[in-house]
Amino acid sequence: MKILVPVKRVIDYNVKPRVKADGSGVDLANVKMSINPFDEIAIEEAVRLKEAGIATEVVAVSCGVAACQETLRAAMAIGADRGILVETDAELLPLAVAKLLKALCDKEQPRLVLCGKQAIDDDANQTGQMLAALAGWPQATCASKVVIADGQATVTREIDGGLETLRLNLPAVISADLRLNEPRYATLPNIMKARKKPLDTVKPADLGVDVAPRLTTLKVSEPAKRGAGIKVADAAELMNKLRNEAKVI
């Protein structure tokens, strides 16, 4: 069974994003970039399925600028067998990425697409769902446990009321949640091996996909700074401030 794992290059989760002075977007100059944490969880799960003898190949895919090769090498250091970069300088919206992944699925014929539930830069949580709709495949989002057996995937997902268990026929799309697993650290030998693993580069035009953005960002601004907290002497003063100053009651 071949597993396709999309991975995205994002600002490292330890870095505080900065808005450009003209408000046109987020400043990426001289900023540390890393693999999206949820995609890293998806890669780990795919590698575990391969180690269990369920999967035969794990293919990492990234869409974006040439620097995304670093993201793919990081995925291959975790255990992916090869990488595919859909190289473009265009701003990629979730629908465009889903169309690119659909074209790659037609070409690679994976039995499972395992992706992160969302990227930490735009928090869209859309690509996996859009891919499933375009491909006509069953889907399970926000997975906290995945079991593959007899051509089916049994997925446990966390919901407000507890846990929900879904059974999907393969091929399918599954998006990984935070508690699915804890990704391993890439060892130095595996990082060196990842440099020699095959990495193919294609263009959106090669896949017959138009990635021109349909949305325009009008303005990006930082959230208002939170005011300092205050201490109150007793419950009566607290109620007074909530009623007369905060006006929430």
- The model's pLDDT over 116-154, given as tens digits with 9 standing for 90+, comes to 999 998 889 999 999 999 999 999 999 999 999 988 999
106 lies in a domain? yes
CATH of the domain at 147: 3.40.50.620
In this predicted structure, what is the pLDDT of residue 229? 83
Q: Summarize the confidence of residues 98-102 as an average pLDDT.
A: 95
65 lies in a domain? yes
Using 50, 70 and 90 to split pLDDT, how confident is the model at 47? very high
Whether a cis peptide bond, with omega within 30° of 0, leads into 138 is: no
Tally of domains in the chain: 1
- Does residue 241 surpass a pLDDT of 90? no
What's the per-residue H, E or C state across 98-121?
A: HHHHHHHHHHHCCCEEEEECCCCC
In this predicted structure, what is the pLDDT of residue 160? 86
- Does residue 214 surpass a pLDDT of 90? no
What's the per-residue H, E or C state across the chain?
A: CEEEEECCEEECCCCCCEECCCCCCEECCCCCEEECHHHHHHHHHHHHHHHCCCCCEEEEEEEECCCHHHHHHHHHHHCCCEEEEEECCCCCCHHHHHHHHHHHHHHHCCCEEEEECCCCCCCCCCHHHHHHHHHCCCEEEEEEEEEEECCEEEEEEEECCEEEEEEEECCEEEEECHHHCCCCCCCHHHHHHHCCCCEEEECHHHHCCCCCCCCCCCCCCCCCCCCCCCCCCCHHHHHHHHHHCCCCC
In this predicted structure, what is the pLDDT of residue 11? 92
Instruction: Kindly tell me the sign of the dihedral angle through the C-alpha atoms of 61, 66, 69, 70.
Output: negative
130 lies in a domain? yes
| Entry pTM | 0.85
Instruction: Label residue 87 left, alpha or beta by phi (over 0 means left) and psi (-120 to 50 means alpha).
Output: beta
76 lies in a domain? yes
In this predicted structure, what is the pLDDT of residue 8? 95
Q: Contact at 8 Å (CB) between 226 and 31?
A: no
Alpha-carbon distance of 24 to 143, in angstroms, equals 35
Domain limits for position 38: 2-244
122 lies in a domain? yes
249 lies in a domain? no
- The model's pLDDT over 154-193, given as tens digits with 9 standing for 90+, comes to 999 988 888 999 999 999 999 999 999 999 999 999 999 9
Residue appearing with tokens 């269990």: 52
- Does residue 225 surpass a pLDDT of 90? no
